[in-house]
Amino acid sequence: MSDWGRRIPTILNSQELLDKAFHKASKVNLRGTNTLDTVKKTSLAKVSATGDILNSTLMKYVRAFPSLDKREEFYSELIDVLVGMDDLKKSLGAIGWCARRCNDLQRDYLRRIRGSKDASFIERLRREYYGRVSSVVRQIGKDLEFVGESRNKLRKLPEIDTSIPTVVIAGFPNVGKSQLIQKLSNARPAIASYPFTTKGVEIGHFEHRWRTYQIVDTPGLLDRPLEERNPIERQAILAIKYLADLIIFLLDPTETSGYSMEQQVHLLGSVSESLSGIPLIEVENKVDISDSNSSRAKISALEGLGVEELRTAIIECLSKVKEPSDP
């Protein structure tokens, strides 16, 4: 699922699609035993080629968009924000209808051509077929355009595996989220695009007893109170709800990040309210230079202090909330 957005082929508009089909058909020229036979064989082959190309191209478009099942609510939500799920389903439905219609017309005209013994009538049938498929394909012109535009937007969806137990890290900028992901991951975190933020999403992984865990930092998403967001940003943030099995809210009691503890606690309230129902661990970072005496867990993402204890807490928490993926 995670990279299907990038695998959607370029969507041709109705004129380009018809040009492609007719161009292919125009190259077909067969020889028969006499004029009637030549015209009949050639016309049958042209109608077959046109219908086949239209049907297979349109069906390829429909199949490129997977039906999103429950587990992929994260993506459904993002697709809904980006292009509108109902509109996308409607247009794909229209394209599927057109593919079937092209098929039916193909079958119908092949039968009629086969049954005719008049060369000029056969030519007329072939042109009539071209006219009818053209009109059917033009009817879905707007749908093809819409799906084409959607495809361009959906290619920017992040490649995140939604089936792996996932920790999302939240907190103001500069509190050490990126540093923590690096310390927890066993390889360099990957950066994936996220269409609602200028910065990419950072994704790290680690293994424990043959299970993979995913840690995600979402710059620009969970680092500002929700009330400052526009509706589109809000929905993009709420999509995180379907991705996160656990949230680590990172605070910086040294305030060297530039945010006061009061602001950070306010953001914590906003995040836990909007993502309610998801377990949340509050962690104070930069213990190496802080003298905080709160009861929160404390780490130094920079020096690694407390990071292994945090990993243990993550594993313990995630073992309860999600069946991890198969090894």
Helix/strand/coil for 193:
coil
Closer residue to ligand GDP, CB minimum distance, 265 or 289: 289
Closer residue to ligand GDP, CB minimum distance, 40 or 298: 298
Tell me the closest approach of the beta carbon of residue 302 to ligand GDP, in angstroms: 3
Q: Summarize as ranges the residues that interact with ligand GDP (CB under 6 A).
A: 171, 173-179, 285-286, 288-289, 300-302
Closer residue to ligand GDP, CB minimum distance, 56 or 256: 256
Distance of CA 152 to the CA centre of its chain: 11
**Tally of CA atoms within 13 A in the half-sphere of 105 that contains its CB:** 26
Tell me the closest approach of the beta carbon of residue 176 to ligand GDP, in angstroms: 3
For residue 262, give the DSSP letter. Answer: H
Tell me the closest approach of the beta carbon of residue 224 to ligand GDP, in angstroms: 12
Closer residue to ligand GDP, CB minimum distance, 105 or 180: 180
CA gap 83, 62 in Å, rounded: 16
Given a contact cutoff of 8 angstroms between Cβ atoms, the answer to whether 20 and 57 are in contact is yes
* Alpha-helical regions (H) of 257-306: 261-274
Tell me the closest approach of the beta carbon of residue 318 to ligand GDP, in angstroms: 22
Tell me the closest approach of the beta carbon of residue 267 to ligand GDP, in angstroms: 12
Q: For residues 212, 268, 241 and 7, what is the CA-based torsion angle, rounded to 10 degrees?
A: -70
Q: Please report, as a single letter, which amino acid is at residue 189.
A: P
- Taking alpha carbons only, the member of 249, 244, 240, 241 closest to residue 215 is 244
Closer residue to ligand GDP, CB minimum distance, 126 or 286: 286
Closer residue to ligand GDP, CB minimum distance, 264 or 300: 300
Given a contact cutoff of 8 angstroms between Cβ atoms, the answer to whether 288 and 303 are in contact is yes
Encoded tokens for 16:
């380009």
Tell me the closest approach of the beta carbon of residue 285 to ligand GDP, in angstroms: 5
